[in-house]
Chain A
Amino acid sequence: DVKVTQSSRYLVKRTGEKVFLECVQDMDHENMFWYRQDPGLGLRLIYFSYDVKMKEKGDIPEGYSVSREKKERFSLILESASTNQTSMYLCASRTGNYGYTFGSGTRLTVV
């Protein structure tokens, strides 16, 4: 089975900190995604990567950046964390016409 691993389940960061959320998949998928999930708003796409060093903005990229230096790893970066970025962050990967595989999520709290 494909596994998508998010390095942290829970994170607490201070306003203004630079935050790195890491995601690793083990099945050579070319596509990787970062979503955030908020009550009442559902899942919203932040960024997408379709190959190493390639990225595309999703619906809500403001305040975020991403890095994909290796195929298996996709990092989400909060340049200067703010309280409105408190959320559940979900990483996913996909190949071809197969379905999406999600990680277990990172609950980020910015204080």
Chain B
Amino acid sequence: KQEVTQIPAALSVPEGENLVLNCSFTDSAIYNLQWFRQDPGKGLTSLLLIQSSQREQTSGRLNASLDKSSGRSTLYIAASQPGDSATYLCAVRLPRGGANNLFFGTGTRLTVIP
């Protein structure tokens, strides 16, 4: 069964700092990987989607990389802002049909201090 781990579980940084969030998974035969953010009491907002054939994706100050062979993805946030404070989740989709092919990480709660 796919296990997805995110380290650290919580992170506090001063505003303006660049930071990296980590996601590791045990089964490298993935279909794609998606990064989400979740604000308290809200739903999940998709940030970036990386297909298995891709190495990275960028959107604004966010850059996500994927290394399937080592079972790792990173989310890089440049010049962090207080508005980036949220929980960040990675989710791995396996290449099989059916319902149970999406596996979520444990999440990293990010606090950006003004």
Which A positions have Cβ atoms within 8 angstroms of B? 6, 33, 42-43, 45, 47-48, 56-59, 88, 90, 92, 97-105, 107
11 contacting pairs across A/B (C-beta < 8 A): A45-B100, A48-B98, A56-B99, A58-B100, A88-B41, A90-B43, A97-B32, A100-B34, A103-B43, A104-B42, A105-B41
Pick from A42, A56, A100: contact of B106, CB under 8 Å = A42
Interface size class of B (residues with CB under 8 A): 20 to 34
The interface residues of chain B lying within 8 Å CB-to-CB of A97 are: 31-32, 51
List, in ascending order, chain A residues with CB within 8 A of B32's CB. Answer: 97, 99
Contact with A along B96-111 (1 / 0, CB 8 A): 0011101010110000
Known A-B contacts A42-B106, A97-B32, A102-B36; A56 and B98 likewise in contact (beta carbons under 8 Å): yes
Interfacial chain B residues near A45, Cβ < 8 Å: 99-100, 102
B99 with A99: CB separation less than 8 A? no
